[in-house]
């Protein structure tokens, strides 16, 4: 009986020892699992944080891109609007110009190189002729080029007509009716000459060998037809 009792006691000790050992092993295993889980959680948190930052960066870039597109489209829209308004103004100006030209042609005006010309059918002195042009919204013609002089010559033929050139203010200093000085003249041979005394006003249409050099100075009280010019804007 004593032997059995000792065996039993030893058995209990072994069981207790085994139980303690198992508990320690379980604790170690559980602790390891816990550490592993913590590690996994940290990795997951880092991964999630990294994804969040990446998402935020992508959204930021997308916003910048959209803003850039909006600005480009707005600039293009403004440019197209300005172009449209400019084209509208040009169209309205052209329509107005065509309307004026049509009305002017019905009243006897002729068109050449952005100007309208009116040739009278009656004769007056230089001052009266200029006054008539002003009443028509124009002035006596100012000839700026050989082409314009040629146009007038072809229109008049050999008929004399007043133009807007005079030296009435200072003898020998020829000025146009707009106050500008004469730079290029189309005087006939030996003109101007003040042949009849005070010849301070100018006609075109003087007979001569040259087809363009047709100017001559005459007394301002002589009576001729005249040419008005209206510059189209």
The kind and range of the H/E element at 140 are strand 139-140
Q: Are residues 71 and 126 in the same domain?
A: no
Q: Provide φ and ψ at 165, rounded to 5°.
A: -125, 135
pTM of the model: 0.59
Q: Are residues 99 and 127 in the same domain?
A: no
Q: Are residues 91 and 154 in the same domain?
A: no
Which of these three, 106, 124, 148, is where a domain ends?
106
Structure confidence at residue 20 (pLDDT): 54
For CA atoms 83, 88, 89, 94, give the dihedral sign: positive
Q: Are residues 174 and 118 in the same domain?
A: yes
Q: Which two tokens stand for residue 11?
A: 């058995």
Q: Are residues 126 and 155 in the same domain?
A: yes
Which of these three, 106, 134, 157, is where a domain ends?
106
Structure confidence at residue 158 (pLDDT): 78
Residue 128: domain span: 110-231
Q: Are residues 200 and 154 in the same domain?
A: yes
Number of domains in the chain: 2
The kind and range of the H/E element at 132 are helix 126-135
Q: Are residues 32 and 93 in the same domain?
A: yes
Query: Which pairs count as long-range contacts for 3-9, CB under 8 Å and 24+ apart, including other chains?
Result: none
Structure confidence at residue 152 (pLDDT): 92
Structure confidence at residue 140 (pLDDT): 98
The ranges of the chain with pLDDT < 70 are 1-48, 100-106, 207-210
Q: What angle do CA 26, 27, 31 make, to 5 degrees?
A: 120
Q: Are residues 173 and 75 in the same domain?
A: no
Q: Are residues 175 and 94 in the same domain?
A: no
Cα 63 to Cα 189: distance, rounded to the nearest angstrom: 80
Q: Are residues 114 and 99 in the same domain?
A: no
Cα 179 to Cα 93: distance, rounded to the nearest angstrom: 28
Q: Are residues 97 and 123 in the same domain?
A: no
CATH, residue 115: 3.10.100.10
Cα 155 to Cα 128: distance, rounded to the nearest angstrom: 22
Cα 46 to Cα 105: distance, rounded to the nearest angstrom: 87
Structure confidence at residue 15 (pLDDT): 47
Q: Are residues 100 and 121 in the same domain?
A: no
Which of these three, 106, 128, 160, is where a domain ends?
106
């Amino acid at each position: 009986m004593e032997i059995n009792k000792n065996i039993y006691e030893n058995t209990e000790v072994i069981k207790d020892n085994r139980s303690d050992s198992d508990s320690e092993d379980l604790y170690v295993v559980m602790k390891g699992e816990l550490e592993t889980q913590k590690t996994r959680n940290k990795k997951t948190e880092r991964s999630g944080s990294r994804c969040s930052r990446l998402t935020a960066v992508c959204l930021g870039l997308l916003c910048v891109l959209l803003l850039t597109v909006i600005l480009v489209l707005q600039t293009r829209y403004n440019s197209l609007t300005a172009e449209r308004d400019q084209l509208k103004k040009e169209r309205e100006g052209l329509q107005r110009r065509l309307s004026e030209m049509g009305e002017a042609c019905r009243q006897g005006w002729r068109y050449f190189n952005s100007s309208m010309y009116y040739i009278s059918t009656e004769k007056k002195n230089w001052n009266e002729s200029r006054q008539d042009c002003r009443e028509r919204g124009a002035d006596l013609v100012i000839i700026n080029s050989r082409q314009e002089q040629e146009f007038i010559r072809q229109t008049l033929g050999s008929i004399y007509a007043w133009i807007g050139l005079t030296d009435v203010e200072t003898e020998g200093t020829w000025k146009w009716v707009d106050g500008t000085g004469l730079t290029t003249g189309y005087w006939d041979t030996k003109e101007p000459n003040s042949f009849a005394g005070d010849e301070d006003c100018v006609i075109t249409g003087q007979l001569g060998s040259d087809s363009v050099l047709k100017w001559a100075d005459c007394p301002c009280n002589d009576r001729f037809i005249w040419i008005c010019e209206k510059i189209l804007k």
